[in-house]
Structure 1
Amino acid sequence: MPARQRRKAARPQELLDAALGLFVEKGFAATRTEEVAERAGVSKGTLYLYYPSKEDLLKAVIAQNISREIAESMDRVAQHQGGSAELLRQMLREWWANAGEASCGGICRLMMSEAGNFPALASYYEAEVIEPARRLWRAVLERGIARGEFRPMPLDSTVAALMAPMLFLVMQQHTATSCPQLASPVDPAEVVERIADLVLDGLRAPAAASRVRRA
């Protein structure tokens, strides 16, 4: 493929990378499309050929960096052959790797802080990220209950209780980027392990808990 064609094929990704960096650094409202185009090394007109508005650009960033990952995680849940406790811990670790340690996790902080000013984007984020994430964790819990590894419990409130500390940790991590005083005093990856321990202690069915204690 000629260099010019390769450059054209790579351009949407370059624009999304530039937009992600600026949105996380400056926020959605404060980021201008001219800045995205400049960081990507293209004209503003070229940017609009791919993404007609700043809202379209953010939606594409969310779809590529978050929605796609949730869909891939759902596939991994469906294909998992081991125990549900192992699966849940693995999924929490992946959540941290993909949202806490990666720059796209800053989108979560951005949406929390700016969604009220952009209701259409908030609705998009709800439909494309929050609801799929709930379905993902519900699938993990349903698997464990069906296999007798987790005790039956109200799924909606359990999913909320599972997601809340992880969301707080992600928010804290990405707030600390601009405000180091708010950084976690302990290794966040270690906190993820303790979250998994606490959640699994509460989820395990009595027989499964007895097997863990004997082991």
Structure 2
Amino acid sequence: MTTTEPRRGRGPSPQKTAETQARIVEAARVRFLSDGFERTRMLDVARDAGLAKGTLYLYFPTKEALFEEVVSLMLGGAVQRLELEPPGPEETTWDFVRRALMPLATDEQAERRQALFRLILSDGQRFPEVLAAYRKVALDPVLSAARRIGARARARGEIGSDALERMPMLLIAPGLLVTVWNHLFPNEALDPPDVFESYFDLLFDKAGA
């Protein structure tokens, strides 16, 4: 008489896993932007995603890990364009920066990103994990890319200063300006695309454009 081993249960498919994770992250995005970091509860995110709380923790063991994934979802595209889609040989640095960063001000997610920046500004000092997630996922990679962008532009004669290499945070200045100004003066709101375009006009002389 022969015996057979019990049939092993099959786990969820990669597609199912990806869909569940995407549902969790979207539910978390809505909660973080509406409630802030402190008041967002994992239980509420799980409920909004249609999951048991225990299932949520299988995907994201902490609220900090979940917030980091939300930041990656909302800002990762710009980081990827700066890091993985370098300027073409004949592309001016000004055109590359506009191509890489202008979508932040013009696509359908622009207002949500401003809300994320406001959350980071308001909660970052009280919750270091908020700033840590932002620095890891978005800020540090962008600053590193900004130094390379500044060096390229200076080598090509498109800017006459090493300021962008010394102070790479200048590259993200227009986004911060729009976020802070529009929060303080909503009745005098700045138009994000116009601010980005005007700022890069000042930063680069568009030599060769």
TM-score (norm 2): 0.78
8 Å contact kept, 1:87–1:140: no
Indicate the structure with greater helix content.
1
8 Å contact kept, 1:99–1:170: no
Give 1:197's aligned residue. Answer: 201
In 2 relative to 1, CA 171–43 (structure 1 residues): closer, same or farther, beyond 3 Å? farther
Query: Where in structure 1 are there 5+ consecutive unaligned residues?
Result: none
In 2 relative to 1, CA 190–91 (structure 1 residues): closer, same or farther, beyond 3 Å? same
8 Å contact kept, 2:25–2:66: yes
Give 1:48's aligned residue. Answer: 57
Q: Quote the sequence identity (%).
A: 26
Letter of the 1:192 partner, please give it. Answer: F
SS in 1 for 2:162: coil
SS in 1 for 2:25: helix
Give 2:192's aligned residue. Answer: 188
Q: Aligned partners of 2:165 and 2:158: how far apart in 1?
A: 18
- Deviation for aligned residue 1:78: 4.8
Q: Aligned partners of 2:128 and 2:198: how far apart in 1?
A: 35
Q: Aligned partners of 1:18 and 1:99: how far apart in 2?
A: 18
SS in 2 for 1:117: coil
Give 1:74's aligned residue. Answer: 83
Query: In the alignment, which of 11, 28, 34 is matched to residue 37 of structure 2?
Result: 28
- Deviation for aligned residue 1:172: 4.8
Q: Aligned partners of 2:156 and 2:29: how far apart in 1?
A: 40
Query: Where in structure 2 are there 5+ consecutive unaligned residues?
Result: 1-11
Letter of the 1:30 partner, please give it. Answer: R
Q: RMSD of aligned C-alpha atoms?
A: 2.9
Residue 112 (structure 2) pairs with residue 112 (structure 1): no
- Count of residues paired in the alignment: 197
Q: Aligned partners of 1:80 and 1:95: how far apart in 2?
A: 24
Q: Aligned partners of 1:188 and 1:39: how far apart in 2?
A: 31
In 2 relative to 1, CA 99–146 (structure 1 residues): closer, same or farther, beyond 3 Å? farther
SS in 2 for 1:19: helix
